């Protein structure tokens, strides 16, 4: 494996039949580009976790091949491979009798890093996930909140600069408010680290929010659709996908579409609510509904570039859909 910070993953005709004959994955082929965050979504039992666990060789496929950075992982040493792959699970599995700092340094310690290098890396990572090493470093897992423990799990998974990060429902055990914050922080963190991330969730909203691309799976990990959130929302390829993304697909589309930068109207008189030009149509519509003029003003570089009405939001959504469909 190269020393790059992120590696592509390819699944080629992968199949997994458990002892006893249960087919978890029928025949799955998938390419995940380096540095992409791909969300695997699908109903309970469709094989998402099995797919993830085959990528780090916690399970071996019964057929097909998985490549990381072009190398067939079946010929790699599983322990060695797992040190190059970060893994975060729902109940993060921190070692209860080790401090937070020691937990984060798990893989560097196995790799024989010096104490100084481990301490520097631990501080850097805890900072990256928004925890202060001076406050939290010497605490034990039970002295942290659920959300803080998940952050430590992410820091630990990133400790040895893995080329791939696998995340299995990492935020589902925390309350919705902490979850939203973790998702937001995680998106910011990914902008910094740029890993190839495979993220399992059964929550389609989380997949839309986090994924560069989404893989929708049905039973036996059948690939129903693979595309960007905007593509999947604008054009679900099957009844399964449209039912899975939900009846409020239209509202979800608003949240993956940015406000238009051209064709804005000149503001009529009145005190219109304002949004910046990098918000989504959903945020713009919400601001419009909070006001009482029927318009929302879009600011660009501190000045108002123009206004949108509800009709304009509708038109912008459909123009964005047309652009997605024709791309
Ligand atoms: N060790 C096992 N032995 C036999 N069958 C198994 C085993 N582990 C999982 N399965 C079966 O394989 C299928 C896929 O399981 P998997 O855990 O991958 O699904 P999932 O999509 O991650 O589900 P969930 O969202 O509920 O966690 C299920 O039908 C499950 O019952």
Q: How many angstroms is it from 286 CA to the middle of ligand 1?
A: 40
- Pairing type for strands 164-168 and 196-201 reads parallel
Q: Look up residue 157 and give its two tokens.
A: 């998974």
Q: How many angstroms is it from 201 CA to the middle of ligand 1?
A: 14
| Other residues' Cβ atoms within 10 Å of the Cβ of residue 219 | 14
Per-domain residue ranges of the chain = 9-252, 257-326
Mutation choice for ligand 1 from 14, 50, 90, 203, CB with most ligand atoms inside 8 A: 50
Strand partners, 295: none
Q: How many angstroms is it from 185 CA to the middle of ligand 1?
A: 30
Give the position, in ligand 1's atom list, of the atom nearest the Cα of 47: 18
Q: How many angstroms is it from 16 CA to the middle of ligand 1?
A: 10
Mutation choice for ligand 1 from 42, 47, 244, CB with most ligand atoms inside 8 A: 47
CA angle (91, 94, 100) in 5-degree steps = 130
ipTM: 0.96
* Residue having the nearest C-alpha atom to atom 10 of ligand 1: 24
Q: How many angstroms is it from 300 CA to the middle of ligand 1?
A: 49
pTM: 0.85
Cα 140 from Cα 103, distance rounded (Å): 9
9-252 carries CATH number 3.30.300.20: no
Pocket lining for ligand 1, CB < 6 angstroms? 18, 20, 22, 24, 42, 44-50, 202
* pLDDT recorded at residue 297: 94
Q: How many angstroms is it from 45 CA to the middle of ligand 1?
A: 5
257-326 carries CATH number 3.90.1280.20: yes
C-beta separation of 24 from 47 below 8 A: yes
- Pairing type for strands 9-17 and 164-168 reads unpaired
Q: How many angstroms is it from 24 CA to the middle of ligand 1?
A: 6
* pLDDT recorded at residue 4: 60
C-beta separation of 158 from 125 below 8 A: yes
Tell me the mean pLDDT per 10 residues along the chain, length 327.
75 96 95 96 93 95 96 92 86 87 90 90 88 91 88 88 90 78 84 91 90 96 95 91 85 88 87 93 93 93 90 89 75
C-beta separation of 260 from 319 below 8 A: yes
HEC states along the chain? CCCCCCCCEEEEEEEEECCCCCEEEEEEEEEECCCCEEEEECCCCCCHHHHHHHHCCCCCCCEEEEEECCEEHHHCCHHHHHHCEEEEECCCCCCCCCCHHHHHCHHHHHCCCCHHHHHHHHHHHHHHCCCCHHHHCCCCHHHCCHHHHHHHHHHHHHCCCCCEEEEECCCCCCCHHHHHHHHHHHHHHHHHHCCEEEEEECCHHHHHHHCCEEEEEEHHHEEEEEECHHHHHHCCCCHHHHHHHCCCHHHHHHHCCECCCCCCECCCCCCCCEEECCCEHHHHHHHHHHCCCCCEEEEECCEEEEEECHHHHHHHHHHHHHHHHHC
* pLDDT recorded at residue 2: 42
Q: How many angstroms is it from 225 CA to the middle of ligand 1?
A: 20
* pLDDT recorded at residue 175: 78
* Residue having the nearest C-alpha atom to atom 18 of ligand 1: 47
* Residue having the nearest C-alpha atom to atom 16 of ligand 1: 47
Give the position, in ligand 1's atom list, of the atom nearest the Cα of 23: 12
Within the chain, what is the greatest distance between any pair of CA atoms?
72
* Residue having the nearest C-alpha atom to atom 23 of ligand 1: 45
């Amino acid at each position: 494996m190269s020393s790059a910070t992120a590696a592509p993953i390819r699944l080629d005709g992968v199949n997994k039949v458990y002892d006893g004959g249960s087919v978890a994955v029928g025949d799955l082929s998938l390419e995940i580009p380096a540095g992409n965050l791909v969300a695997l979504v699908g109903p309970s039992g469709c094989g998402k976790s099995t797919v993830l666990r085959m990528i780090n060789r916690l399970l071996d496929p019964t057929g097909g091949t998985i490549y990381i950075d072009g190398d067939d992982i079946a010929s790699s040493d599983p322990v060695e491979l797992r040190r190059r792959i970060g893994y975060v699970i729902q109940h993060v599995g921190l070692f209860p009798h080790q401090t937070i700092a020691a937990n984060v340094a798990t893989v560097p310690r196995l790799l024989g890093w010096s104490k100084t290098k481990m301490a520097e890396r631990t501080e850097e990572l805890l900072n990256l996930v928004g925890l202060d090493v001076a406050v939290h470093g010497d605490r034990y897992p039970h002295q942290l909140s659920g959300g803080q423990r998940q952050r430590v799990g992410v820091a630990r998974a990133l400790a040895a600069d893995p080329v791939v990060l696998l995340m299995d429902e990492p935020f589902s055990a925390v309350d919705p408010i902490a979850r939203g914050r973790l998702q937001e922080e995680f998106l910011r963190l990914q902008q910094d680290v740029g890993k190839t991330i495979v993220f399992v969730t059964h929550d389609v909203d989380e997949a839309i929010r986090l994924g560069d691309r989404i893989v929708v799976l049905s039973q036996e990990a059948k690939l129903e659709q693979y595309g960007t959130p905007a593509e999947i929302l604008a054009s679900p390829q099957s009844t399964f996908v449209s039912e899975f993304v939900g009846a409020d697909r239209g509202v979800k589309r608003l949240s993956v579409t940015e406000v238009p930068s051209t064709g804005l109207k000149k503001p009529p008189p009145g005190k219109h609510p304002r949004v910046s030009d990098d918000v989504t149509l959903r945020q713009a519509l919400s601001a419009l509904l909070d006001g009482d003029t029927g318009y929302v003003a879009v600011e660009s570089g501190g000045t108002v570039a123009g206004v949108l009405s509800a009709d304009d939001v509708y038109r912008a959504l459909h123009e964005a859909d047309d652009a997605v469909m024709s791309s």
